[in-house]
Every structure is written in structure tokens, then in C-alpha cells.
Amino acid sequence: SVAAAASARAQISALPSQSAPAQAPAAKGTAVLRGHAFTAEGGRTLRGALVRINAPDGRTNRAASTDPQGAWEFTELPAGHYMINASKNNYLGLGYAQRRPGDVPTPLTLGEGQTIEKLDIALPKGGVITGHIVDEYGDPVPNVMVMGFRPQYFQGRRRMTESLGTSTTDDLGEYRIFGVVPGSYYTGAMYRTPPAAANDEGAPAYAVTFFPGTVAASTAQRITLGFAESHDEVNIALVPVKAATVSGTAVKGTGEPMTRGFLTMVTSDALMSGAPGGQIQNDGTFVIHGVAPGEYQLQANGQDRGPNQRPEIAQASVSVAGQDVAGVQLTVPAQATLSGRILIDPAAAAATKPGTISIVAVTDAFLNTSSSMGRASDDFTFQMTTPAGATVLSVNGIPRSMAVHAIRLNGADVTDRGVDLKPGQNVTGIEIELTSQPTVVSGQVTDSRGGNATGSTVLVFARDEAKWEGASRYVKFTRSDQDGKFNLSGLPQGDYYANALDSPNVNEISD
């Protein structure tokens, strides 16, 4: 549990923001950043590596290549906070003080006229997974797609997601996945019935099969890789199944059939595509051949729309058990309409561009969640449509010196509990109140010797466990800079834990 006894208790109250308002871009500065790029294995200099620096406020975004000695330099930089990243073909890209790709970025604080040198970044090679895919007779199977998966946490819940990219077997049934970030993974293979054989009743079909030869992800064998490590002979024997045909009609929100579009089909656990999908015919009908047994989610993306219309997405759930499934009707979920206004201090409003503010509605809907977005108008009002269901609102694009204080519907606070939207409902009177004095949590991380703990992850989260679920605004994290200092703003008032973590997996921070 992250709520360990060693956690520091922090009482957060409303404090004046320490962040300065956004300013116009500075033409030139007087600060300098210098460093080198090396290989992690052997420490050889890396020439031609691409080094990028960018400031979170967007004022500075520059790139340079390392010279034959692996050196890079940026001059005439304005003071501020910067992120530094280096990359090169056949190496894993890393940022300043990053231990592995995907970690929380480490900011670098640069003062006016300051020169910071020896900002060296060592780029490692990724891991490699190789193996063979065979059928039930032990014969190699070409053109099989192989994917790698790892557990990740979405809104506090553990899910298996694709994270290694894909590889396709050759004529010998061999595959190779390279550039793998260190970690633990599962591999799975998916056989696609050749189009020429899709209508043949006796054509072979195989279930999505995980290493070492199981159709259940829960019994798959995990593979652990470090930098530049290779795990060979990760062989998978495909499990034969009786394939079926799924057919039906895709219908628009008006009740009329879709006349153009395409279909996607994924397993209910969203691990891998379970069928090749297909096209929607002019009369709205579709046919998908070679579908293995399982629980699936079908989605039709309509393309018959005007230039300023959003694409319609029709959806349905299908259970396949070796028999053909006909008469499936994919329908567009009923929409609801949201409208309201953003409450902002007049002085802050004069310095804020409404068009940069977006209102995001996340709805518990098909394929777990559905996200919709609307923009604020010049008078700070907004209107948007979103699928019906339990919906939570959030705001993006507000100045760094501001934060959301509360979201209300007809005077009731719905910031955390959200709104239960009914099909066709028109919800008005939403008020999003912004504050120019967000809470601020700042401090310093030191190591056991009292030195600065550069690049540590600082995780601040509510003491109340009920506030950990979902995309919680009561959980925030950042990295300490080169002096071990950190700063977090915008947490709601309340009681919190603050934890410093040396090198957590970023995918597990919301566990």
C-alpha cells in the first residue's frame, strides 16, 4: 500500500500560487545547457543523437544533434523550467535523470545567466523477444501477428494493454520484437484467416493464444527483460477452434442505415483484435468471417457525414461460440447535451484566451469509457454533446496559475460525483468555477546522506481511500529537479499523504 507508515501527513489549505502568470515569449536569454550522449553499454560517445529541450510553458522548444564527440549545447536560453530528452535510432530514448523510458519526466530549473554542464544522458538498447509460431501439428504458421502486453493501471484498475508493438511471422513461423523497455510482459499470437479462404467452411481458425500455449490471459507465462537482454524461443502453439461468421446492420442515430464506414472487432478484455473487421456496405449491412469463439465488442465508424459533422460510432456486444451469429444491430448510443459557463475572476479573464480552455466529459460507456470534448466560447460559455451514462467533467488548457475550484449543477457540487446523463437529456446550468489561488505543495527530497535526490517521484494523494478511485483529482505526482526540489499545485483542500519514491514504474503510480 502506498499509504505506508513512513508517509508524511500534509494539511493542504488554500495558498497563493507561486506560479507567475504566462508571459509573452522571450526573444533571447542568457543561460546555457551543455552535455553529452553516450551508449549505456560500453559508454561510447553517440554522434548524431537528437537532443530536444522544451519548457512546459511552451516558450522554448529547440533541438540539436550531437557532434562526433557526442556533445550538445543550447545557448541564449531564458530562465525557467526545462525538460531534456535524447534519442537515436536503435536505442531507447531517455530524458535527463530518467532511469527508463516512460518514467515521469524530471524538470531542470535554469536561472538567468546560469550555465549548467555535464548533463550527460546514456541511451540503452532495448530488449528482444524472439520465437516461433506453429499450428497443432507443429508446422510453422506465417503471417501471424504477435504482440506483447503488460499490466497497466487505468483509473486505478489493473488492465492488460499492448505495450511492445507488433511483429509478423515469416515463412518459417519466426517473429522478432525488439526495442523492448525493461519490465515484465506477456506475449500473444493472433491468426488471421486469409481473405481467399474466409468463406471456406473448412478453413482453419485459431483462438488468440498466449505463451506458452493458452487461450486464457490469466494462465499466460510472464517474461521479464532488462536493458539489452534477449529472451529467445518464446514459442507459441496456436489453439485450433471452430470459426464463425458474424453479420448484421449498422444504424445511424437517425435510425437510417450507415452507407459507408468500417468495422473493428476486439475481445471484451481489449487485449487483441479478435477478427479482421470489415467494411459496411451501401445498405448498412456487414459480414465478418473467421471469428473465433469469445466475447467481443463491435464498433462501426460511419463515414457518411458532412465536412463539419463528427463521425457517428455504432456499437454492440457479441458472444460467439462456434456458431454463426446473424442479425447483429450496431446502434449509435443516445447522446446528451451539456451547457454552462466558466466562472473566472475578471482580472484573470482579461489575460486568458477562452478558446484554449476545453471541457472534457468522461462517460462510463462502451469499451469502458468514452471521452468527449467541448471548447469555451469567447464569453466563457460552452455547449457539447456526450454519450449518456455516468459522466465526470474536467477542464484542460487553463493557465498554470489557476485551478478548478468546483463544478456545480444547479448549485450542487458535482466535481467528484459527476452527473448521471439520460439519453436525449439537455443539461443546462453547469458552472465551472476557477480560482486564481490554487493550493501549492512544495518541498525537497534528500537521500540517506543528506544530498539532493534528483529525479525522485513525489506522489501526493488523499488520506481518504474513497478519493483514490478513477481519474482522481486528489492524486498528483511530479519529479524533483536537479536540486531535489518539487512543486505541485491545484490539489483540492484536505488531508494528504506525501511519498517520495526512488524509481517507480509510472504505470503503477495509480495502483
β-strand partners of 210: 188, 214
Beta strand pairing call for 115-116 and 121-123: unpaired
Among positive and negative, which fits the CA dihedral 263, 268, 273, 274? negative
CA distance 162 to 442: 36
Answer for the pair 12, 493: CB distance below 8 angstroms, yes or no.
yes
pLDDT score at 157: 56
CA distance 494 to 474: 9
Tell me the CB-side half-sphere exposure of residue 264, using CA atoms within 13 A: 12
Q: What DSSP string runs through 72-95?
A: EEEEEEPSEEEEEEEE-TTS--EE
Burial of 427 by CB count in 10 Å (0-12 exposed, 13-18 middle, 19+ buried)?
A: middle
Burial of 69 by CB count in 10 Å (0-12 exposed, 13-18 middle, 19+ buried)?
A: exposed
**pLDDT tens per residue across span 89-108:** 989 999 988 888 877 778 88
Answer for the pair 393, 430: CB distance below 8 angstroms, yes or no.
yes
State the chain's maximal CA–CA distance in angstroms.
75
β-strand partners of 396: 358
* Run of H or E including 348: helix 346-350
Answer for the pair 340, 432: CB distance below 8 angstroms, yes or no.
yes
CA distance 239 to 236: 9
pLDDT score at 15: 36
Cβ neighbours of residue 391 closer than 8 Å, sequence gap 6 or more:
336, 361, 362, 363, 364, 418, 419, 420, 421
Q: Which residues of the chain have pLDDT under 70?
A: 1-27, 56-58, 151-164, 195-202, 267-276, 303-311, 364-371, 470-471, 504-508, 510
pLDDT score at 291: 80
At 413, phi and psi to the nearest 5?
-75, 120
| Identity at 503, one-letter amino acid code | S
* Run of H or E including 134: strand 127-134
Closest CA to 37 of 105, 82, 89, 108: 89
CA distance 92 to 455: 18
CA distance 28 to 113: 11
Answer for the pair 250, 280: CB distance below 8 angstroms, yes or no.
yes
Tell me the CB-side half-sphere exposure of residue 181, using CA atoms within 13 A: 18
**pLDDT tens per residue across span 30-68:** 999 999 999 999 999 999 999 999 986 667 889 999 999
Tell me the CB-side half-sphere exposure of residue 36, using CA atoms within 13 A: 11
Answer for the pair 191, 205: CB distance below 8 angstroms, yes or no.
yes
CA distance 133 to 169: 7
3-state percent breakdown (helix, strand, coil) of the chain, nearest 5 = 5, 50, 45
pLDDT score at 268: 60
Cα angle value 295/274/303 (rounded, 5°)? 100
- Strand, helix or coil at 481? coil
Strands (E), 354-506: 358-365, 368-375, 381-387, 389-396, 403-409, 412-413, 419-421, 426-435, 440-444, 457-462, 475-479, 485-489, 494-501
pLDDT score at 382: 94
